[in-house]
Chain A
């Protein structure tokens, strides 16, 4: 019986798709655990280095590092935009890019030019069409990004700041709130905005610098910016897996309802065909 052949075919193809989305969901779920662990593992460093920076901001160094001094006039700003390499993770990249574009527009309206550094394939291909100046890129960092892969990309921006080509540096990344929620956000990296230090440190003091203040501060502040970007990248991986898990779960559920509907349509068509056949036979028998 050739009833509903198309429907059967369609059900089969949706079932295959569902198998894929379900597999992706499970893979993302297990990867998310690891990504979250990695995110938490990198936190102590950024906390410790932030402490040191806030001590430093309150010490009275004879040498003021350019990263700590805000420039009055802003002619050009830099953005570091973190996105994922792969798609199928819901609105994660779209949201981050929307935030990035909005922030850049704001500066462009003030006649300030924008330099870009993109981390992740999605942002690179989207923003290269957007017509802004991309000065450095890092892609294919994988699930366990290494800080070594980011050093060069960040250094381009830091050098630009030191040489005065850009006057502010921002980081656009996704914040991992929980599995269901990831929020895009924009942070200022340079100049470094230090927090208020603890009360007991408020007297006049300074570090002993070895060998000298400049190289030590150079290294420390570079590491600080790198650690912030690294933290953003690791967090982005956790966001990616969580978003993908949720998106794939929704896709699997949708495939399920679609299959149910089609199954119903198929059964109805089959029943109608049988009824028709019977009535034809009955009518034929009556005619004889």
Chain B
């Protein structure tokens, strides 16, 4: 390209755009790929979904197994278990949510930065499970917008990894500038 230097980013991008549209084959060989912003950002997002672990019962043991070497959640970019809501993307609610704990679950979820997702791991988090009782919240979807439910009591680590892959597929399709999610009334 025998042209003077671009005056700024806008002109540079416009020039790359024009060039690569005009010379598609050449652009590829020079390492230029065209995509949409949604695709590019979501590609980054879906491969580094950091979990906010919320281990509340025996499901947390399977969650730990999913993080250890045999199942290795790092293969999906989710090995960075954050114990701070500020730095995490997905809340894995693993276990029985009592009404008393529900206050803390909701509060931690509210403290997470957007974008954020929720996996309800196991029967208790999904529906209350076998605890048909005055003290247990009958499904965490009463207070949080759940993206993926995992069946099982407790689910095997493979099931959690499957949920993670499903969540990745979902993240890949979301508009980057999507609005905040809420629990449907």
A binds B: no
Interface residues of A (CB under 8 A from B): none
